[in-house]
Structure 1
Amino acid sequence: MGRGSRLFQRLLRLGPPLTRDVVVHPHLPVPMPDGTVLYAERWAPRHGGDGLPTALIRTPYGRGRRSTLAALPLAERGFQVVVQSVRGTFGSGGAFKPMRNEREDGLATLDWLVKQPWCGDSVVLTGSSYLGYVQWAVADQLPPQVRAMVPVVTEAALTLAFLREDAFELETPFAWGVMVSGQERKGALLRQLLGARRAHRAQFTTPLEEADRAAIGSPSPYIQNILSHGAEDPHWDGVDQQARVAAASVPVSSVAGWFDIFLPGQLRDYRALRAAGREAWLTVGPWAHTAVGVQAEGARQTLEFGLPHARGERPQEREPVRLYVMGAEAWRGFESWPPAGYAPRRFHLQEGGGLATAEPGPSGPDRYRYDPADPTPAVGGVRFAPGRGGRKVNTRLEARADVLTYTTAVLDADTEVIGEVEAEVWFRSSLPYADVFVRLCDVDAKGRSRNVCDGLVGLSGADEITRASLRLWPTAHVFKRGHRIRVQVSSGAFPRYNRNPGTGEPRATAVTLRAADQRVFHDPEHPSAVVLPVRATSAAG
């Protein structure tokens, strides 16, 4: 493993290991109370591995080579690592029913683990995305041997945030359903790469309930469920683990990304921990869900936070909240989220495409036409697709006729925005059903517009003048002196959000697509604005 070890050390920017002589003990049977057997593997130093702190990773994505990036760096630096395939995946018995069995199976796995003669007396739970969700599923009933948790780009109500009735996020659950449906086939990674374009095209399928067949050739139970059952549907009973967060009995270090799909829920979970008086750290970097930086920071937190707790020591002191402030391109520490000292400031949409803190004057509405047959595309931002998320130049997007932009004058001082971002847009459509998408951008001195954060809300009764209230993704960003602040308004970001057909039909079965004429108001009676948490040396005029 020497060559891979050095590659991962460089890739994750870790210090030198304690050993590069690591062995893998495969095919460890883990019995469940119902008689099902799940399989795990143990990564440990060849010499002296017994009794070391154990990092437990429970995953639906496979063991062996698939788990090397997560397991090897930890096994070389003070841990032994147990990687278990969850029920119904990669040789583990039973059927894989996403998020349905993780509490019972997770508790049974911990009971098995702490009884193993090589386990020692300390365990740390770690992992990203689904691998973080399984930690929350057991967080309120941990055995005393568990000393810390490191949930990475995840949250306690996995999937449910995508299924809001007023903002259905199609891309992430659809792409995940496609991915897991074929992940155990031979050549799965190559198949996924070659099938990416097909999967993208499939999201244009009408009705959407046929999209899984278009992408993978057969129905996917998970995709059918996310299309047919909204977040509040009883179908999802038992999936939401939020009630367990405040009851977590061990210190928690959460790793998040400004462009991660789970960021709002992860910040909610962090606030719940702090409100309950739990020891908790939060690290938020400039990452999308699949960024290498996410894996690197997850490994560092497991080593720098989890390992000291496993040894009965204190981690190195730092502020509880560590944020990468974009624009300034620097890490900063804070005592809380959201941090104190940032007051909401309204930046109003103005006639002629302006944006300013001054109240808008009398003006007529701006207009654009939204056609779901040619939907406004998602460009950068919060994306599940590797390489497509994060900060991107928005020039081509803003040149579209279905995107309005509103921009401040050149800033005469740095304007620092950290916290929760909201928007209020007074809006009217020619149809009763419409979406409003708002994006905050930073325009540099060369006129290049890059996205900072955004959000979408769906409206009914949109054929009357309506105030659309949106909660954008949280952010930490400095708009530098000489830059400008820009707000985009449109009616979609496909395929991150599904197309609004304009008819009010259920998302799974809608077949008719109707174009709509949209109007955005910005006058004294309809003061559309984005609301930014600002600490700045001067205001934009």
Structure 2
Amino acid sequence: MTAPGRLVDRLLGLPEPASPHAESARDLRVPMPDGVVLVADLYRPRGAGPLPVVLMRTPYGKRQAVVRLFAGVLARRGFQVVVQDVRGVFGSGGEFHAFHDEKDDGLATLKWLRAQPWCDGRVAMVGASYLGFTEWAVAPYADPPLAAMGLGITSSEFASSFYPGGALALHNTLVWSSLMGTQDERRRPFHNRRVRHAMRHLPVGEADLAAIGRPESFLREVASHAGPGDDFWKGTDHSAAVPATTTPTTMVTGWWDLFLRGQLRDFAAMHAEGRQVRITIGPWGHDAKALRATLHDQVSWLNAHLNGDQAQLRRAPVRLHLQQANTWLDFGQWPPPETRPTPLYLSRGLVWDEADADPATFTYDPFDPTPNVGGPLLSPGKGKQRDNGPLERRDDVVVLTGAPLTEDLDVIGPVSATIHVRTSTGRGDLFVRLCDVDRSGVSRNVTDGILRLTSTGTVRAEIEMHPTAYRFRRGHRLRVMLAGGAFPRFARNHGTPEPAGQAVAARRTRFEVFRDADHPSALHLPVWRP
């Protein structure tokens, strides 16, 4: 094994490799049925005969450092790895059309691999983020099935993360589209000043010009298809096929990952059908810590299903980190059966008994949009938990705080809110955030959700919030913040009927949040009592 490989394994905390010497073949040509040729690199133990193949399909370049790290680690452990550039990126032919071609191209690649003399007929797939999506585009339809599947911080469908609650996820969309739109440049932006400034550009559908100086198809597609009932992304949604997928599957996600809700739905759907599936949920975002955990997880899963190491399977289906308790918990299912949905009512503060208070009001101004602090963001160092104090002092938010807790409160599972609300324009985005206020008064976000409103009169808004596993410590207080947005994480709501990607004109919107016996607004917390 080379010195760099030995150092990588040591830094990752991985055991000594079984096959320290690997060889590679570059730019294998994989023909697609329409004549387009995709290219791939092969990594395998030196001198080995036919082996199963571990396939990774990437839009970021097959020689990207992280992808090569994954491939090298697996090859040194006796696995044969093929890393392929998806259609339209780097050496692969055709045009990149995000998410749309991965099913047909993935299945064609699978057929080609099984016909190669160095493949013993078994193919597994691993990857994270978009690479994980390419697995879902193949696994439900592969015949025979994949031998194993390893999924990190990903989901069987991404469209719900483009429009959570019907609001356009501007920050993550523009960051990723700017990255993809500059693949051919040596210095590719991730969250530089120009991209951050472009988030304020109107209309949103042309923010790519401000961010990278030219049109970028993904941003324009997301902005153009943000209306309800649009079927543009229907062909990229593989969630309906998840329950019937028989491939043994392992998953890794984090409490601060933007695809968490979708990945938990995928896990629950497979588990309900009795499939062989497990999931690990850590205190991570869409970040390097999640990737490290994903690599460890996938090495053990491949050892179990390609090398017969059954010891790797002796754990509970659900392993999760309880934040602020510094502990890991094992459960037999998601959500944990020991949790009890408990309403936390909005009153003059927050109460466990039903509320009776006058409406709370605030006004949202799209030309001075309520800013976002923390949360599940793509940009490194910008997401997760942050001090919400400056945000809570603004006059365009409502802040409600509960009494100090007399004992620790553990919340594990899906979180939601039912809010009775009326807007002056018949439009608006209702953003709800739950925070943890410590003994010194610092308020840190725990979970949140948003819902786009399009009806006049009083609306019963059902808001899906981010799932969590979190311990609110004794003496801390729970706090709920209500706002008309969280910019630029979500595109501003203009208070007009203009399509989200084209809107320029704007109207201020006054919100009335009802919290009386006839309109009991509340958060629904999954309280865990073992």
Name the TM tier (shorter chain): over 0.9
Provide Cα deviations, 1:416-472, integer angstroms capped at 9, x if missing partner. Answer: 11111111222233322111111111122222221111100011235x333222110
Q: 417-426 vs 510-519, which deviates more?
A: 510-519
CA contact (8 A) 2:387 2:445 kept: yes
The 3 A distance-change label for structure 1 pair 92 and 481 is same
Match of 2:221 in 1: 225
Cα deviation for residue 145 of structure 1 reads 7.5
- What amino acid does structure 1 have at the position aligned with 2:56? I
Match of 2:519 in 1: 526
Counterpart Cα distance in 1 of 2:113 and 2:388: 50
Match of 1:239 in 2: 236
Counterpart Cα distance in 2 of 1:77 and 1:395: 49
CA contact (8 A) 2:20 2:77 kept: no
Q: 511-520 vs 276-285, which deviates more?
A: 511-520
Counterpart Cα distance in 1 of 2:241 and 2:23: 35
User: What is the number of equivalent residue pairs in this alignment?
Assistant: 527
Structure 1 counterpart of 2:441, from 441, 447, 452: 447
Match of 1:356 in 2: 351
Cα deviation for residue 157 of structure 1 reads 1.4
Cα deviation for residue 232 of structure 1 reads 3.6
The 3 A distance-change label for structure 1 pair 306 and 143 is farther
Q: 105-114 vs 236-245, which deviates more?
A: 236-245
Q: 224-233 vs 492-501, which deviates more?
A: 224-233
Secondary structure class of the residue paired with 2:195: helix
Provide Cα deviations, 1:49-83, integer angstroms capped at 9, x if missing partner. Answer: 44444321001110224322221222222322110
CA contact (8 A) 1:413 1:536 kept: no
Counterpart Cα distance in 1 of 2:40 and 2:222: 30
Q: 405-414 vs 307-316, which deviates more?
A: 307-316
Match of 2:367 in 1: 373
CA contact (8 A) 1:380 1:392 kept: yes
Cα deviation for residue 10 of structure 1 reads 5.1
Structure 2 counterpart of 1:409, from 395, 398, 403: 403
Cα deviation for residue 295 of structure 1 reads 0.8
CA contact (8 A) 1:123 1:310 kept: no
Q: 505-514 vs 306-315, which deviates more?
A: 306-315
Match of 2:55 in 1: 56
Secondary structure class of the residue paired with 1:421: strand
Is 1:283–2:280 an aligned residue pair? Answer: yes
Counterpart Cα distance in 1 of 2:12 and 2:184: 27
Match of 2:5 in 1: 5
The 3 A distance-change label for structure 1 pair 433 and 523 is same
CA contact (8 A) 2:243 2:269 kept: yes
- What amino acid does structure 2 have at the position aligned with 1:261? L
CA contact (8 A) 1:133 1:156 kept: yes
Match of 2:394 in 1: 400
Q: 167-176 vs 448-457, which deviates more?
A: 167-176
Counterpart Cα distance in 2 of 1:74 and 1:169: 35
Match of 1:342 in 2: 339
Structure 2 counterpart of 1:477, from 458, 463, 470: 470
CA contact (8 A) 1:437 1:493 kept: yes
Q: How does 1:458-469 map to 2 (within 5 A)?
A: 458-462=452-456, 464-469=457-462
Counterpart Cα distance in 1 of 2:145 and 2:217: 37
Cα deviation for residue 20 of structure 1 reads 4.6
Match of 2:37 in 1: 37
- What amino acid does structure 2 have at the position aligned with 1:157? E
CA contact (8 A) 2:165 2:451 kept: no
Match of 2:255 in 1: 258
Is 1:320–2:317 an aligned residue pair? Answer: yes
- What amino acid does structure 2 have at the position aligned with 1:526? H
Secondary structure class of the residue paired with 1:456: strand
Structure 2 counterpart of 1:310, from 306, 309, 334: 306
CA contact (8 A) 1:52 1:78 kept: no
Cα deviation for residue 4 of structure 1 reads 4.1
- What amino acid does structure 1 have at the position aligned with 2:394? R
Counterpart Cα distance in 2 of 1:177 and 1:286: 26
The 3 A distance-change label for structure 1 pair 141 and 369 is closer
- What amino acid does structure 1 have at the position aligned with 2:251? S
Cα deviation for residue 307 of structure 1 reads 2.1
Counterpart Cα distance in 2 of 1:446 and 1:24: 57
- What amino acid does structure 2 have at the position aligned with 1:253? T
Match of 2:509 in 1: 516
CA contact (8 A) 2:179 2:188 kept: no
CA contact (8 A) 2:156 2:266 kept: yes
Match of 1:24 in 2: 24
CA contact (8 A) 1:49 1:80 kept: no
Percent of aligned positions with the same letter in both sequences?
Answer: 43
Counterpart Cα distance in 2 of 1:145 and 1:164: 32
Counterpart Cα distance in 1 of 2:49 and 2:148: 20
Provide Cα deviations, 1:262-311, integer angstroms capped at 9, x if missing partner. Answer: 1111111112112222111011111111x112111211121111221112
TM-score, length-normalised on structure 2? 0.94
Cα deviation for residue 225 of structure 1 reads 1.2
CA contact (8 A) 1:128 1:154 kept: yes
- What amino acid does structure 1 have at the position aligned with 2:519? H
The 3 A distance-change label for structure 1 pair 531 and 145 is closer
- What amino acid does structure 2 have at the position aligned with 1:129? S
The 3 A distance-change label for structure 1 pair 422 and 215 is same
CA contact (8 A) 1:350 1:360 kept: yes
CA contact (8 A) 2:165 2:464 kept: no
TM-score, length-normalised on structure 1? 0.92
- What amino acid does structure 2 have at the position aligned with 1:216? I
- What amino acid does structure 1 have at the position aligned with 2:415? V
Q: How does 1:283-302 map to 2 (within 5 A)?
A: 283-289=280-286, 291-302=287-298
